[in-house]
């Protein structure tokens, strides 16, 4: 899916509502958190050394199989209630 290489959403921005601890990192409330899904989509550790190649067969058994059941690394349309309104139509 070319959506992995050229996603319409390259970064997801959310505001942290309350302080949260992520490992050893404390993220205070009211901080904007940027999730760089474009970086995930181009990471050879996640997709292999041929990460920059368009290979639709990666997804022949579904997104879960392509992402080794780590589906959070494939976010071409964003996520949550504010994701891209065209995602359903694009994936048909």
pLDDT tens-digit readout, 8-65: 888 889 999 999 999 999 999 999 999 888 898 999 988 889 999 999 998 899 888 8
**1 pLDDT tier (thresholds 50, 70, 90):** low
Given this model, what pLDDT does residue 88 score?
Answer: 77
Given this model, what pLDDT does residue 35 score?
Answer: 86
For 12, counting Cβ atoms within 10 Å of its Cβ (0-12 exposed, 13-18 middle, 19+ buried), the class is middle
Model confidence, pTM: 0.71
With b meaning 16 or more CB within 10 Å and e meaning fewer, what string describes 21-59?
eeeeeeeeeeeeeebebbebbeeeebbeeeeeeebeebb
Residue 82 has pLDDT above 90, yes or no: no
Given this model, what pLDDT does residue 25 score?
Answer: 94
Establish how many alpha carbons lie within 13 A of residue 70's alpha carbon, considering only the half-sphere containing its beta carbon.
8
Number of Cβ atoms within 10 Å of the Cβ of 61: 9
Given this model, what pLDDT does residue 21 score?
Answer: 96
DSSP code of 91?
Answer: T
């Amino acid at each position: 899916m070319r959506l992995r290489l050229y996603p319409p959403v390259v970064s997801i921005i959310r505001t942290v509502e309350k302080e949260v601890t992520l490992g050893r990192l404390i993220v205070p409330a009211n901080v904007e958190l940027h999730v760089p899904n474009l970086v995930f989509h181009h990471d050879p550790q996640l997709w292999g050394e041929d990460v920059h190649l368009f290979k639709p067969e990666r997804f022949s058994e579904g997104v879960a199989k392509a992402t080794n059941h780590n589906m959070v690394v494939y976010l071409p349309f964003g996520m949550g209630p504010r994701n891209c309104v065209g995602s359903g139509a694009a994936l048909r």
